[in-house]
A = this chain, B = another copy of it.
Amino acid sequence: MDKKSKSLSKNQKIVLDFIQKNKKPVKAYSILSNVQKKGINAPPQVYRALDKLIEIGKIHRVESQNSFVACKISNCNTPHKTVFSICNSCEIVSEINDPKLFKNLKDFRDKDGTVFDGYNLEFFGTCKSCKNKQIENTKH
C-alpha cells in the first residue's frame, strides 16, 4: 500500500462515503442518522471521523452552516485553505478554485506584516439555477 495515504478506518470510510454521496454539505447529526444502519451509534463516532477527515483534507467544514462537504479540488489528499460560494436560496455550496484569488489571499499581509498561515472565505449569493427560477416566477 501507498505509504502516504494510510487507509481510512472503518468509521472514517463510512462517514466520508456519506459526505461524498451528497452534493450539498451535510450536518453532523444528519450523517449520524444516515449511518446508524452501518453501526455508528453516537455523536462522538461521527465527530471523530469528521475531525480526522478534515485534518487530512478529504472534507471541509462550512463554518457559517456548521456543515461538512467533500473536497472537490485536486485529488483530495492534502489539507488546504478554502474558498466557498454559498447560495442564499438553496444553500448549495461550491468550492472555488481560482488561482488569482488564491494568490491575492496568500500574499495578503496585515498592517503589522503578519503572515497568515490559513484562511477561510465564504462568498454568499444566488446560484445560477436559483436565479433562473426567480426569473421564471416573475413571469407568471
Contact = CB atoms under 8 A, between A and B. Distances in A.
A44 to B, nearest CB: 20
Contacts of A126: 114, 117
A127 interface: yes
Given A63-B63, A63-B64, A118 B124 contact: yes
A112 interface: yes
A5 to B, nearest CB: 26
A101 B96 contact: no
Contacts of A94: 110
Interface residues of A, number: 28
A38 B96 CA distance: 46
Interface string A92-127: 001010100100110010101011111111111111
Contact of A120 (B104, B114, B122, B128): B122
A85 interface: yes
Given A101-B104, A116-B125, 11 more contacts: A63-B120, A101-B108, A114-B125, A115-B125, A116-B123, A117-B124, A117-B125, A117-B126, A119-B122, A120-B122, A121-B122
